[in-house]
Every structure is written in C-alpha cells, then in structure tokens.
Amino acid sequence: MSNLVVYIQEKICSKRDEACYLAAFYLGFADYLDVDYDAISQSVTFTAFHHEPPPLAIGKPRDAWDEPIDAKRSQMKIEVGILASEKATRAEELSLGGFLFTLGENTKPGNPASTPSPKCIH
C-alpha cells in the first residue's frame, strides 16, 4: 500500500496540493481499499474504509473524527450515505442498501439505494 501512496503523491498530486498529499497518506491506513477504473470516462475512483481515525490525524486526538468538506468549493462530487447490509441476490456477494445524499445538490436524502458491495483489497 505504501507504494501506491507514494505514487499518488509523486505522480498525481500537484506540488502545492496539501489536501491531495494528506488524502493519499491516509489511504495507507485504510482497513480496505476499493479501486475502480471506468474505461469510458478514463477515471479511477478510490474508496477507502477506516474503522477509526488514522493514527496521525494532525492536531487531533485519536478518538476524534471530523472532516471539513466545502461542497461549494470542491470540484468533485461528494456523496454521503447511510447504508446497511441487505440480503444478496447471489450467495457469494454482499449487498448494501440505504440512502445517499449528494452535497450541494440534494436538500434531503434521495430515494433508497441498493448496491452490491465493492470488491476489497486487503
């Protein structure tokens, strides 16, 4: 995982983008990481799960977790979800369902969503 973090910091983040460096750094502490490549849009999406704050959250105690998000200034789409396990359609899959909310676009949670869980890299 550390090689991926260094690659992102050196090849993808601009030299002045501290938020990008920090986001890449925190990937190294993820409990699991899902990497999805979309051939049509030629984009890569990283989805990381942390069961607790990363151990080196700058200036914050380990039991604190807050993430300032400014959806109006951000160039990316930010979704917040409340998800729970659902019965899967196939025995080898996990399934999640719940509500998704897109910051800056929705004024209330959308219709219930259901999706198979991502494949995980451990």
CB–CB of 38/45 below 8 Å? yes
> How many domains would you assign to the chain?
2
- Structural domain that includes position 94: 75-122
Question: What tens digit of pLDDT does each residue of 85-119 get?
Answer: 888 788 778 787 888 777 777 766 665 555 544 44
Quick one: 5 and 48 in the same domain? yes
Quick one: 81 and 59 in the same domain? no
Distance CA 106, CA 122 (A): 33
Quick one: 62 and 94 in the same domain? no
Quick one: 59 and 96 in the same domain? no
Which residue, 35, 25, 31, is CA-closest to 2?
25
Q: Choose from 9-23, 57-71, 86-100 the range with maximum mean pLDDT.
A: 9-23
Overall pTM > 0.85: no
Quick one: 57 and 80 in the same domain? no
pLDDT at 14 over 70: yes
Q: Which residues lie across from 46 on neighbouring strands? A: 35
CB–CB of 60/68 below 8 Å? no
CB–CB of 74/49 below 8 Å? no
Quick one: 27 and 83 in the same domain? no
Question: What tens digit of pLDDT does each residue of 29-62 get?
Answer: 888 888 889 999 998 888 888 887 776 555 555 5
